[in-house]
Structure 1
Amino acid sequence: MKSAIIRPLLVAATLAGSFGLYSLTTKPTVAPDADNAGLKLPAGFGALVVAETGGRARHITVTPQGTIFVKLSRLKDGKGVLMLRDNGSGKATVVSGFGNYGGTGLYSNKEYLYASSDEEVFRYKLNAKGEVTNPAQPEKIVTGLINRGQHETKSITLDKEGNIYVNIGAYANTCQVKDRQKGSLGRPNCPILDSAGGIWQFRADKLNQTYGTGTRYATGLRNVVGLDWNAQANQLYVMQHGRDQLADNFPELYTTKQSAELPAECLYALKKGDNAGWPYMYYDPQQRKKMVCPEYGGDGKKEADAKYLDPAAAYPAHTAPNALLFYTGTMFPEKYRNGAFIAFHGSWNRAPEPQKGYYVVFQPFKDGKPSGDWEVFADNFAGTPEKAAAGRPDHKPCGLAQGLDGSLYVTDDKAGTVYRIVYAKK
C-alpha cells in the first residue's frame, strides 16, 4: 500500500523537473542566468536564455502539453517553424523544423498548431505529446490573402468559439496616391480597406477559406502584429502600428520632433464592425485626441470624426508593438494577473530624436479593461542605452508566450534568441 502512494509522487516530481515546472514543494526549478540574460527586470524577477535559434524568431507558442514552437520570418535550412524541447533546466534545444514558408503568425491549443505564411493560414494536428503529426501536409485554413510586400505578415489568434482572427495589414503608409511621397494626398474612399487594413474572422475548423467566406471583423487598422483574445472581457484586443512620416510628407505642418512623437501606438478593444479610422485619422497622445490626417485635409489641429474607435491605451510613437499577451498564470505576483504584456520591436524613424523601444512593457488591467499607467517590464534587449538611441540594438523583442508554469517567453527576431522570464523571489 505504501509503495502505491509513493510511486505517483515520484512520477509527479519527475514530470515537474523534466518540464521545468514546479516541484512538489511549489518552488520553481528554473534558475535564471547569472546576468539575467542581460535583461533589466523588476525586483524578484530573473531571466535566462532558453535557446539560440539562429533565425529571425517571430511569434512563439507553448502548447498545453509543454512543447515550444517558434515561427521564423525567413526560412532556416528550408524550415519556417521550429520545435524546441525543454531539457529539464528551463533551457531548450531545437529538435525539428517544418513548413516551407516564412512569416509571423503562430498559435496553439490542445489539438492544433496554427501557423501563417504571408498569404495563408495552416493548421497542424498535435498528438498527446504536443508534437505535430502532419509536418509535411498541413491543412490550409485560409488562402489567397493579399501580400504586396508592405505590412504583409499575417498575425493570428483564436477565441473560445472556434473563430480565428487574421491581421491583413495595409500595403501603404496612409493610402496616398503616391505612397510615402511628399505632398501626395490620400485616395478617396481608400480602396485598400476592401481587402486589407483590418482584422478578418474565419472558422478555425473549416478548410480553404478566402475573403469571400470570411468576415471583415474590424477595419481602419493600418497594421496589427500583436493581438490576443482577452478571456476576462471575452473580446479581441490588438496593437496597431501607427503611421509614419508626418514631417516628411507635410513639412509645412509638422516639425521633425512632432513627427517623432506622433502618432501613438494604440491598443484597441475590438468588436465586430468597429472602425479604428486608418487612413483618415491618427491618435495624438499629447492632445489625447483623434486627429484628421494631413493627407485627408488635416493640419494637426482638426479633430477626426467621433465615429472612429477610441484607443483603449496609447504608447510612444514608432516603437512597433509586435506581440500582445494577456497573462493568466500564477507564477508572477497578483498585480500581473489578467494584465497585458506587449513586446515593442523598436523604432527606426524617430531621427533626429533618439530611437525608442526594444523592451517589453506591462499594461495593468481591471475587469477586462486597461487600468492605470503602463510600465517597462523587461528592458536592455538593445544591449546599452546608446545602442537603443542609435537604433542599433543587439536584440529586438518580437514574440510572447506564457509557459505552463506561468513564466514568460520572449523571442528576438534580430539574433534569434529565445528568453524566459521567471519570478524567482523567495
Structure 2
Amino acid sequence: MKNYNLSSLLGASRTALLFCLLLSLHFAGTQLMAQTKLELRQAPGDTTQLKLPAHFSAIVVADLKAKARHLAITEQGLMYVKLAKPIDGKGILVLKIGKDGAARKIGGFANYGGTGIYLKNGYLYASSNSEVFRYKLNNQNEVINPDQPEKIITGLLKGRQHETKSIVLDNDGNIYVNIGSPLNSCQENDRQRGSMGIPGCPLLDSAGGIWQFKADKLDQSYGQGVRYATGLRNVVGLDWNQQNNTLFVMQHGRDQLHDIFPQYYDENVSSLLPAECMYMVHKGDDAGFPFIYYDQFKKAKMLAPEYGGDGKKEIHDKYIDPVVAFPGHMAPNGLLFYTGSMFPDRYKNGAFVAFHGSWNRSPKPQAGYMVAFVPFKNGRPSGDWEVFADNFSELAGGELMSPRQAKYRPCGLALGPDGALYVTDDAKGRIFKIVYSK
C-alpha cells in the first residue's frame, strides 16, 4: 500500500497545486474612512424584480461593482462587507445604512479578501484564506485601529479550490473556522476519470472539516485548535443556533459523478446528485466526505465511487445524517438563523439559506440563485424548505444554462438592526434589503 502524506497527496492532484502550509500573510490595512469608489442606489420601493412572499418587498442598498461575499451589520446600522478580493487594497468595505436602506458613509480597510466576517463581544472578526484577525470596536461599533488587528489564527491550509475560511462564534468564547477540502473527492488524481480515492484520505487531518479555536488567544494554529467536526467537503455558509446552542452548516456537495465514473452515473443523474446538505454539528461528528455522499431521492448515505461505490451501495451507520437535503449543485453560500422581530412569527428562529448557483448541472438547466427558508422549532427543522426570495438571476425568458448568464448570485446573509434581511450578490456586488410590512 502506498504511504501517503500531505505533500504527496497534493502533488498527485492536477488542480490543487500550490497547497501551502503555514502561509505567511503580510497584513497592511488602510484608514477606516478612506474613500472607495462604489456606485450606490436608493430606491423608494421594490424595484429589484425579486419574487417574494406577500407583504415582503426589497430595495437596493448599494451596487458595489465588486464581488460582495459575507457581511456583518451593527446595531447602529454600520455595515462591514467582505469582498472576494481587495479593491484598491481594501478587502472589507464599510457602509453606513440609513433608515431608508440606502448606503451613506463609505470606508474600507484590510488587504485580503475571502468570506469570513463576524461581530461579537466588542470585536469584528475577519478571515483571509489562511488567517483570522480581530479588530477592536468602540462603543459605536466602529473599528478603532483598522491597520493594527490582532492575529488570532494563522497557518491554515488552502488550495486552489475551496480556499475561503468562513467563520462563526458561539457564546462560550470559541470561534469555528471552515477549512475546505482542496480536492473534489480525495482522488489520487483530482477530477480524473477512474482515479480512485486515497486510502483514509490524509488531507482530513488539516482540511475537510470545521476547526474550533479560542476567540481571544493570539497566534493559534492547528496545534492549539480542535478538529471539531470532519467529513465536510466545503462549508461556506454556517451559523450558530441560539435555541439549542449548536452549530449548523451548509455543505457544498461533490462534483462530476458522471465525468469521473460514467459506468455508474449518467449525465442526468449526475446533474442532480448529490444533495446540498444542512448538518447540525456537534463535537466529534463525521459527515462522511469523501467516503460517502447523500442521495436526496433515496434519502440515504451512499458509498462514494472512489471508495468502492456504484451508485447503489448504501451506508447506514458511522456518519451523521443531514437535517435538510436540498437539490444538488445549487452552491449554498450563506446561512442565517432569523432572530429579528420584523418578519411574521413563522420565520422566528428559522433558517435562511443563500444559494449562489453552481456549474456542475449540465445537461440540465442551472438551479439556485435564490434564498430558501427552513422553518425551525426548538432548534430543529420543523417543516419542508421553501423558496423565499427568487429571480436574482433576472433571466428574461429561456433557461439558465450557465452561471455566467445569472445577473446576480446570492451569497451572504445578515440581519439588520430593524429586523430586515440583507443579501449580498457576488456577481456584481449588489446588496439587497428585504423588509416586511402589512
Shared fold (TM-score greater than 0.5)? yes
* SS across alignment from 1:386: coil
Letter matched to residue 277 of structure 2: C
Letter matched to residue 394 of structure 1: K
1:386 corresponds to which residue?
398
1:208, CA displacement in angstroms? 0.6
1:295 corresponds to which residue?
306
* SS across alignment from 1:212: helix
2:126 corresponds to which residue?
115
Aligned residue runs from structure 1 range 27-426, under 5 A:
33-93=44-104, 95-384=106-395, 386=398, 388-391=400-403, 392-425=405-438
Count of matched residue pairs: 395
Letter matched to residue 141 of structure 1: I
1:388, CA displacement in angstroms? 3.4
CA deviations 1:276-328 (Å, max 9, x no partner) are 00000000000000000000000111012511010011101010000100001
Give the alignment's Cα RMSD to 1 decimal. Answer: 1.2
8 Å CA contact 2:229, 2:284 repeated in 1: yes
For residues 317 and 258 of structure 2, the distance between their equivalents in structure 1, rounded to whole angstroms, comes to 25
Letter matched to residue 371 of structure 1: S
1:89, CA displacement in angstroms? 1.9
For residues 233 and 242 of structure 1, the distance between their equivalents in structure 2, rounded to whole angstroms, comes to 26
* SS across alignment from 1:311: coil
Letter matched to residue 400 of structure 2: A
For residues 386 and 138 of structure 1, the distance between their equivalents in structure 2, rounded to whole angstroms, comes to 48
For residues 174 and 192 of structure 1, the distance between their equivalents in structure 2, rounded to whole angstroms, comes to 11
For residues 386 and 202 of structure 1, the distance between their equivalents in structure 2, rounded to whole angstroms, comes to 47
CA deviations 1:379-404 (Å, max 9, x no partner) are 11101263634431000000000001
1:34, CA displacement in angstroms? 3.5
1:130, CA displacement in angstroms? 1.2
For residues 264 and 97 of structure 2, the distance between their equivalents in structure 1, rounded to whole angstroms, comes to 54
For residues 70 and 172 of structure 1, the distance between their equivalents in structure 2, rounded to whole angstroms, comes to 28
Letter matched to residue 386 of structure 1: G
For residues 303 and 105 of structure 2, the distance between their equivalents in structure 1, rounded to whole angstroms, comes to 48
Cα 1:34/1:66, change in 2 over 3 Å: closer
Answer with 275-284 or 85-94: which moved more.
85-94
* Unaligned residue ranges in structure 2 (runs of 5+): 1-41
* SS across alignment from 2:353: strand
Answer with 376-385 or 178-187: which moved more.
376-385
For residues 313 and 395 of structure 1, the distance between their equivalents in structure 2, rounded to whole angstroms, comes to 25
CA deviations 1:388-423 (Å, max 9, x no partner) are 344310000000000011100000001001110000
Cα 1:152/1:94, change in 2 over 3 Å: farther
| TM-score normalized with structure 1 length | 0.91
* SS across alignment from 2:243: coil
Identity %: 62
Runs of 4+ off more than 6 Å:
none
1:134, CA displacement in angstroms? 1.2
Letter matched to residue 388 of structure 1: L
* Unaligned residue ranges in structure 1 (runs of 5+): 1-30
For residues 217 and 32 of structure 1, the distance between their equivalents in structure 2, rounded to whole angstroms, comes to 44
CA deviations 1:18-42 (Å, max 9, x no partner) are xxxxxxxxxxxxx974444121100
For residues 303 and 105 of structure 1, the distance between their equivalents in structure 2, rounded to whole angstroms, comes to 35
Cα 1:374/1:32, change in 2 over 3 Å: farther
Answer with 88-97 or 330-339: which moved more.
88-97
1:110, CA displacement in angstroms? 4.5
Letter matched to residue 424 of structure 1: S
Cα 1:184/1:33, change in 2 over 3 Å: farther
Answer with 252-261 or 61-70: which moved more.
61-70
1:79, CA displacement in angstroms? 0.3
8 Å CA contact 2:362, 2:401 repeated in 1: no
| TM-score normalized with structure 2 length | 0.88
For residues 190 and 377 of structure 2, the distance between their equivalents in structure 1, rounded to whole angstroms, comes to 40
CA deviations 1:13-62 (Å, max 9, x no partner) are xxxxxxxxxxxxxxxxxx97444412110000000000112211000111
For residues 44 and 196 of structure 1, the distance between their equivalents in structure 2, rounded to whole angstroms, comes to 43
* SS across alignment from 2:223: coil
